[in-house]
Amino acid sequence: MLQITEFKSIVDLLKKFPDEQTCIDHIEAIRWGGVIVSPFDTTSKVYKCAGNKYKCKNTGKYFNCRTGTIFEDTKIPLQKWFMAAYLINNHKKGISSHQLARDINITQKSAWFLNHRIRYAFGHENFQKTYNDVVQADETFVGGKNKNRHADKKVPKSQGRSFKDKTPVLGVMQAGHVSLSVIPNTQAQTIKPIIEKLVKEGAILITDDWDAYASLAANYSHVIVDHQHGEYARGGFHTNSIEGFWSLFKRGVYGIYHYVSRKHLHRYLSEFDFRYNNRETTDGERAEEALKGFDGKRLTYKTTNREN
Domains assigned to the chain:
127-260 (3.30.420)
* Helices 283-291, 78-90: inter-axial angle, 10-degree rounding: 130
pTM summary value: 0.83
Report the percent of the chain where pLDDT is more than 70.
86
Instruction: Using pLDDT thresholds of 50, 70 and 90, give the confidence band for residue 121.
Output: confident
Please give the distance of CA 120 from its chain centroid, rounded to a whole number: 7
For residue 147, the SS3 value is helix
- pLDDT digit string, tens, across residues 255-304: 888 888 888 899 999 999 998 998 888 877 887 787 777 766 566 655 55
Q: What residues are paired with 77 via a beta bridge?
A: none
- pLDDT digit string, tens, across residues 19-71: 999 999 999 998 898 899 999 999 999 999 999 999 999 999 999 999 988 88
Provide the CB-side half-sphere exposure for 251 (13 A, CA): 9
Write the DSSP string, 193-234.
HHHHHHB-TT-EEEE-S-GGGGGGGGTSEEEE--GGGT---B
